[in-house]
Amino acid sequence: MEIRLFQILIPAIGLLFVVTQIARQAKGKVTLRETILVAVFWIAVSAVAIFPDRISNFFAELLGIKDNVNAVLFLGIVTVLYFQFLLYNRYKGQQRQLTKLTRMIALRDAETEESKAS
């Protein structure tokens, strides 16, 4: 099997990310769940980089899509949508935090009829 540059480069980058993520988790900067997610993501990307044809053909057959390139595109779109969902969820969470903070300050500094009269 002829080995191309990206088949070495991508797994190496992935390994770097996974190792640094494990180090961050050891320092308590990220959770175990986040580390597992990062590891699974980079293992999957590395596997596709090392065995592109075998994996894309496997998914094409699994999904009933004739062309393996279409299967890769389909999975790519699904993955992007999933990350979009995660991102929007995080955005909504931050919006809720902002509302809570705004409300907390508003209630803390709220006028009362007594304070207004004095």
Task: Give me the least distance between CB of 117 and other proteins, in Å please.
Answer: 11
Q: How far is the CB of 82 from other proteins (least distance, A)?
A: 13
DSSP state of 4: P
Contacts of 42 by beta carbon, 8 Å cutoff, 6+ apart? 13, 14, 15, 17, 18
Angle in degrees, CA 95, 33, 87, rounded to 5: 30
How far is C-alpha 102 from the geometric centre of its chain's CA atoms? 29
State whether residue 52 is helix, strand or coil: helix
97 binds other proteins (CB under 8 A): no
Query: Which of residues 20 and 97 has its CB atom nearest to other proteins in the complex?
Result: 97
Our finding on whether 117 is near other proteins (CB under 8 A) is no
When asked if residue 112 is in the footprint of other proteins (CB under 8 A), the reply is yes
Chain residues in the site for other proteins (CB under 8 A): 89, 92, 95-96, 98-99, 102-103, 105-107, 109-113, 116
